[in-house]
Homo-oligomer: A and B are copies of this chain.
C-alpha cells in the first residue's frame, strides 16, 4: 500500500544562506527550512539535514527511516564524502525516493546514479521561465495547469547530458531562447528519482505554489508502494520444470 505518511528528509548544502546576503534575504533560515514550511500542508513527516552536520546529517539510521530524500546543493558538491554518496546510492537502489533540485544536477549522487556528466548550458540574467506539462497523465502533473511561470530564474539549456528520462513530465521555455527538460522521472533499481530544475538560490522559487505542488507530487510518486526486494546471485539447485500431467 501507498505510504500513509511518507517520511521525507530535506538535504541542503546550506552555505549560500550563511555567507551571501542576497541569498539570506530570500531564504533567511535556509532553503531546507523554506521547503519544510512549504511542504508542511501536504501531510508528510518532514526532517532536514545539512552538509556541515556530522555525516552530512545522513547517518545510517536517518537514511533507513527516510522514504524520500530531497537534495539541494551547489558550490560544495566536492565536499560531500564518497562514503555518504555510496550509502545514499544503495538506499535509492533499495527503494528510497530521491528528488534532485536545480544545481543538484552536478551533485555527486546525481552524477553517480545517472552515469553521465550531467552538464548543461546556463546563464544568470533574471529571465522568465515557463514550465509546460508534456505528460499530463503523470501523477507528478496532478493539479497543475497546462503551464506555470516563474517571473525570474536562472536559465538552464539543452543539451542536458542525462540519460533519456523514463518519463518526461515538464519542459521549460526561457525568455532568452532556450528550452530545457525540467521534470525528468527515472527508475533505478527498486527506487525512483525525479529531477526538477527550478530553484536558483537568489530567487524566491521555493515559495511558489506550483513549484511546491510539483515537489509534493514527486514525494508521493517516489514514495509509492513497489515490489518486494529482488533476488540476486547464484540460484541453486536448478529449478526444475515439473512434468506435465
Instruction: Tell me the A residues contacting B by CB distance below 8 Å.
Output: 1-2, 89, 93, 95, 112-117, 119-123, 125-128, 130, 132-139, 141-147, 152, 157-161, 163-164, 166-168, 171-179, 181, 186-192, 224-236, 238-242, 244
Pull 23 A–B residue pairs with CB atoms less than 8 Å apart, ordered by A: A89-B115, A93-B116, A114-B115, A121-B231, A126-B244, A128-B242, A128-B244, A130-B179, A136-B190, A137-B187, A138-B226, A142-B225, A143-B227, A143-B228, A146-B230, A158-B230, A161-B189, A163-B186, A163-B187, A173-B173, A176-B238, A177-B240, A178-B239
> Which residues of the other chain, B, contact A174 by a CB distance below 8 angstroms?
173
Q: In the complex the two chains form, is A228's CB within 8 Å of B144's CB?
A: yes
The distance in angstroms between the C-alpha atoms of A144 and B231, with both chains bound, is 12
The distance in angstroms between the C-alpha atoms of A177 and B227, with both chains bound, is 20
Q: In the complex the two chains form, is B226's CB within 8 Å of A192's CB?
A: no
Q: How far is the CB of A76 from chain B (nearest CB, A)?
A: 19
> Which residues of the other chain, B, contact A233 by a CB distance below 8 angstroms?
119, 121-122
